């Protein structure tokens, strides 16, 4: 039953109001990852959202999805390592941590740069 309603909630990710996008992401984050197994692209697209919370929550969802599918979008995740908001950077590192080493090896320099991040939890 839940799977039937995922589509309409995903559609709300493109709403012009950030609070609608945020609410949609909060709902989607609570779902079983198996329900959204094929839905990687909408969350990758949200990484360009103007609101930091939407970017962070999208990364948290990506962290729970199939690592092989997420690895296909690794460049978009790595780009989040330079985000202005520390929670987005930390979430991006968490996604990368869950990927196979072979998928992340070409981005090792970007990860190493984060070791000098001024915020302790990044």
pLDDT by 10s per residue, the chain, length 122: 455 578 899 999 999 999 999 999 999 999 888 888 778 999 999 999 999 999 999 999 999 999 999 999 999 999 999 999 999 999 999 999 999 888 888 877 777 777 777 776 66
Residue of 83, 76, 70, 68 whose CA lies nearest to 114: 83
| CB-based contact 60:29 (threshold 8 Å) | yes
Q: What is the pLDDT of residue 39?
A: 87
To 5 degrees, how large is the angle CA 73–CA 76–CA 78?
Answer: 105
Q: How many CB atoms lie within 10 A of CB 19?
A: 11
What is the C-alpha separation between 48 and 113, in angstroms, rounded?
21
Q: What is the pLDDT of residue 1?
A: 42
Q: What is the pLDDT of residue 60?
A: 97
């Amino acid at each position: 039953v839940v799977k039937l309603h995922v589509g309409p909630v995903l559609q709300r990710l493109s709403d012009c109001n950030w609070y609608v996008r945020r609410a949609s992401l909060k709902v989607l984050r609570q779902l079983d990852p198996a329900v959204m197994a094929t839905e990687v692209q909408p969350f990758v697209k949200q990484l360009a959202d103007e609101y930091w919370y939407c970017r962070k929550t999208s990364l948290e969802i990506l962290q729970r999805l199939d690592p092989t599918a997420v690895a296909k979008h690794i460049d978009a995740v790595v780009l989040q390592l330079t985000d202005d908001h520390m929670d987005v950077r930390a979430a991006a590192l968490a996604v990368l941590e869950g990927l196979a080493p072979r998928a992340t090896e070409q981005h090792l320099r970007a990860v190493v740069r984060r070791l000098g991040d001024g915020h302790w939890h990044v």
